[in-house]
Each structure stands twice: as C-alpha cells, then as structure tokens.
Amino acid sequence: MRGIGTRRRGCVVTDENRRPPAAVVFDALGSEYEKAFAASETHGASLEWLLERLPPAGRVLDVGSGTGRPTASTLAAAGHRVLGVDVSPVMVEIAARQVPDAEFRCGDIRGLPLEEGSFDAVCLYFTLLQMSRAEQSDLLRRLTRLLRPKGLFALATVPLDVEGFDGVFMGQNVRVTSFAAQDVIGLVRDAGLTVLSERSVMFTPAHPGAAPEPHLFLHCGREDGGEPGAP
C-alpha cells in the first residue's frame, strides 16, 4: 500500500517512489560498496591526515557513513567519538554491527538537528554526487558551521563537470551531478574553508565492469572563528 512504511533501526522505510534516490541505490548495494572501494589507498591516507591533526577524543561527523568502513572504524579505533549519518537503513544496520564503538543515525543530514560549532572534524567522502549543485553548496556551508574554530574538513568527490547525468553505478541507475576540480575547490572556499592539501588520483572499483574514475580528495580547515560563508 502506498504511503505505508516499515521501521528498521530508527529508519522509516516507505515505498521506493518516496525515498531519497541515494537510499534506494545504497540499500541495494550494501556491503558490495565497501568491497568495491576497500583498496583505496588515497582514502586511507586521508584518514591518516585527520588522525595526525585531531585532538584526543575528538568529535567527528561522518556524512554518508555507509558501512562504517573505513572511515568510522578507523577514527573510532583511534579513540575518537564518531557520529555517522546515512540515508540508507541497510547501510546504517551494517555500520552499527561493524563499528559498535561509533554512533550511527539514519536520515538526511540536511534535516538533522545538530549544534553548530560542535565537531572537531567533518568527513564527506563521495556523498554529494546525488544532490543538485545548489544543494551541494548549501550543505557545504551548513557542515562548515558545524565545525569548531580551527576544525578540520575532509572531502572526496568525483570531479566531473556534469549536471543531472543519468548513468549506471555498480549495476544501479543513478543521476549524478558534480563539478570540475577547480569548481569543487571554489565551492569549498565559498563555504568558509581553507584548502590545506589536495590530491587527485584515478581509481578502479573492484566490481565487474567498473572503469577507472577520477577521485579528488581535499583536506581543509576552518580557520576563522566567525560565520563561515559570510561575505
């Protein structure tokens, strides 16, 4: 029956036509996504960058936390307090089982009430791609406001100049929007962040039929104590 949902570990799962597209895709992928990207040395290096700079028992927000690996698991194992947020109830179930030392919530980060200035770091690995360009810009500004002054921000995306592109990702139909690399950097700066380092690589997911794809990793800091993104 349309409009009637079931509840799964805090997530209300309604019919497919009313769910966020990312939830549908990543519910279907489940642990296959983790397996496909497990060999990313650049992701591991990005986490090492954070670990070298976070204060002891830092509070970290992992947006689009997926299965909890490698981001939440690596940070929690180092003693940091991790909150993972994902729209996919399947991913949240897997993450809660795999990383019991972290907290996970199922929901859309854009509507989740979180206190500004309450996190030492935000991780945003490949989470923007199914949002519009305006939504991506708005989310970056909001996440920057969640950081404490001098807070850290790690971001990864696929830097392509595409908008509303319909494609297939690991067997799932997706609509992708992104920016070219320099425009991603501009977006981050407009949000009130300073780019401290960047790295571009080509990566091939471990999945049948996967092709090499460009990955851009940015490591940033909120250097001011004022309102990020303000003129």
* Pairing, β 213-221 against β 147-157: antiparallel
Compute CA 77 distance to the chain's CA centroid, rounded to the nearest angstrom: 19
Distance from C-alpha of 8 to C-alpha of 229, rounded to nearest angstrom: 37
What is the pTM (predicted TM-score) of this model? 0.88
Alpha-carbon distances of 32 from 38, 66, 108, 167, rounded to whole Å? 10, 11, 22, 18
Instruction: Tell me the per-residue pLDDT of 47-69, one tens digit each, with 9 for 90 and over.
Output: 999 999 999 999 999 999 999 99
Where exactly are the structural domains of the chain?
Answer: 20-221
Q: What does the DSSP 8-state code read for residue 144?
A: H
Alpha-carbon distance of 119 to 138, in angstroms, equals 18
Higher pLDDT, 213 or 4: 213
Give the rounded distance of the alpha carbon of 113 from its chain centre: 17
How much is the pLDDT for 79?
Answer: 98
Q: What's the CATH number for 20-221?
A: 3.40.50.150
pLDDT tens-digit series, residues 196-231 = 999 999 999 999 988 999 999 999 999 774 444 443
Cα separation, 60 vs 47, whole angstroms: 12
What tens digit of pLDDT does each residue of 84-103 get?
Answer: 999 999 999 999 999 999 99
Please state whether beta strands 172-176 and 59-63 pair in parallel, antiparallel, or not at all (unpaired).
unpaired
- Residue for token digits 């940091």? 80
Report the candidate in 71, 86, 87, 218 with the shortest Cα–Cα distance to residue 159. 218
Q: What is the pLDDT of residue 153?
A: 98
